[in-house]
Amino acid sequence: MENTNNSKNKTSLKEELKTIFSSSRAFWLVNLVNFGDGIAYFGMLTLLTLFLGGSVGMSDKMTGISVSTFTGLVTLFIFGGGFVSDKYGVRKALGISLVLLFVGRILLSCAALPVEAGLTAVGYIMAWGGLLIIAMGSGILQPALYAGAKEYTNPNVSAIAFSFIYAFMNLGSVCQDFISPFIRTDELFIGNIHGLGWGIMGVFLVCTALTGLMLFIHLTLFTKKVEEECRTAPPIKNKTWKERWNEMPLKDMRLLCFIFLLIPVRALFAHQFLTIPDYVFRVFSAEVAAKFEWINGINPFIIVIFAPLITMFTRKVSVYTMLLWGTALSAATTFLLVSNHPSVMILITYVVIFSLGEAMWCSRFYEYISDLAPVGQVGAYMGLANLPWFLAKFTTGLYSGSMLAHFVPKTGPQNPGMMWLIYGLIACITPIGLLLTKKWLENRPEKVS
């Protein structure tokens, strides 16, 4: 692959910002879908363990396995979804994914209804079926978004383009975190304004309706003509599925080692939706739990602001260096929670510092993978890069429910500090591993496209 670092380094920050904000209509339509789905996806994921454990009636263990399987399948389908965007193009891939997401979210949102009628098995099937379809849609959507950032922007601003994709996704999460409590509870918020009190199911139905709106906007505005006029990448050579599979970089041991070393710290990201919700609801007061989404919303809020900013001012720093320091910060922050007398301020401090670590490395990781990918294979490479994320999410859910039941049960003695100590020690494997293998991983031969 041709090294584009020199051309990037010669471009000033002002010129790069001017270029990115004057990007094509297709790039901003991609980000519109990205933003809307960020609201819907995180709006449901944040409350998913509470919905399955409460409204649908699953046990802690079954809930943990169900959510972990769902998030693992999302990443597994990303592997195949990358081929979909490469084969059919970004526009069609986004359309297919939005249809699947709309159908899946309808099923999941209504899963509590048969349970209330005494048909528990039917509710379980609807919930699992909905999660499966949502996972398929998300698996196609995510590589299509990053492929769109690659295809519809100037190559000289790819680092900032990828940080925008990551930031817009988190902007959606910020919005849902502040709106969700108003929909879910009837608490007093501002002045005499009370929440709607629609419950978790109400939040899920709003997220579903938003998905339908995104589908309508996409089909109406993102036409074939817009796609052809806005593409900056060379025409994609039509290849068979077998040819695309054979060209995957599965034999590159440095690349595989690099992405698999991220699994331990990736587990911390899985705990944000597998462990943190129940941790807050069981350890903190009801007043804090009622505004849980606001605390949770600090993370995407920081990402929205600092992911682009950090990328802009560190765009000439190597990806590996940013990964090393970013993962080290995220792992070390976990030890703030090693206390059996947690406070809201400690929790907020944890979320803030953890988020800054995430902002340092996550979007740069995707930039690195896209730079390795030949023309027309960005989606497939993104799929491979997400395999460790699949393993982290899947394996984390296998034990997260049991760990909660043991260290932070609904009733009885609790020892949350020990749980977070274990999780922090596991996460430290990533920065230590990256440091020990730095020389070997950085001295990789140039890839020729």
- Tell me if 60 sits within 8 A of 50, measured CB to CB: no
Tell me, what's the pLDDT at 410?
A: 84
Tell me, what's the pLDDT at 176?
A: 82
- Tell me if 378 sits within 8 A of 146, measured CB to CB: yes
Sequence letter at residue 116: E
- End-to-end CA gap in the chain: 4
Tell me, what's the pLDDT at 1?
A: 38
For residue 51, give the nearest of 100, 140, 124 by alpha carbon.
124
**What interhelical angle do 60-88 and 378-385 show, nearest 10?**
160
- Beta-ladder partners of 193: 190
Q: What is the pLDDT along the chain (449 residues), one digit of tens a residue?
A: 344 444 444 556 566 666 666 667 888 888 899 999 999 998 898 889 889 988 888 888 888 888 878 877 887 787 777 778 777 888 899 999 999 999 999 999 999 899 888 888 999 999 999 999 999 999 899 888 877 877 777 666 666 777 778 778 878 888 887 788 888 887 766 667 777 888 889 999 999 999 999 999 999 998 888 877 777 665 555 666 666 556 655 666 777 787 788 889 888 888 887 888 888 888 888 888 777 878 877 888 888 888 888 887 887 788 788 888 999 999 999 999 998 787 889 999 999 999 999 888 876 777 777 666 666 666 666 667 777 677 777 778 778 888 998 999 988 888 999 999 999 999 999 999 999 988 887 775 554 44
Candidate CATH numbers 3.40.630.30, 3.30.1060.10, 1.20.1250.20, 3.20.20.80; the one for domain 10-442? 1.20.1250.20
- Tell me if 422 sits within 8 A of 404, measured CB to CB: no
Please state, in angstroms and rounded to a whole number, the distance separating the CA atoms of residues 37 and 43. Answer: 9
Tell me, what's the pLDDT at 90?
A: 86
Tell me, what's the pLDDT at 125?
A: 93
- Tell me if 382 sits within 8 A of 143, measured CB to CB: yes
- Tell me if 33 sits within 8 A of 99, measured CB to CB: no
For the full predicted model, state whether its pTM sits above 0.85. no
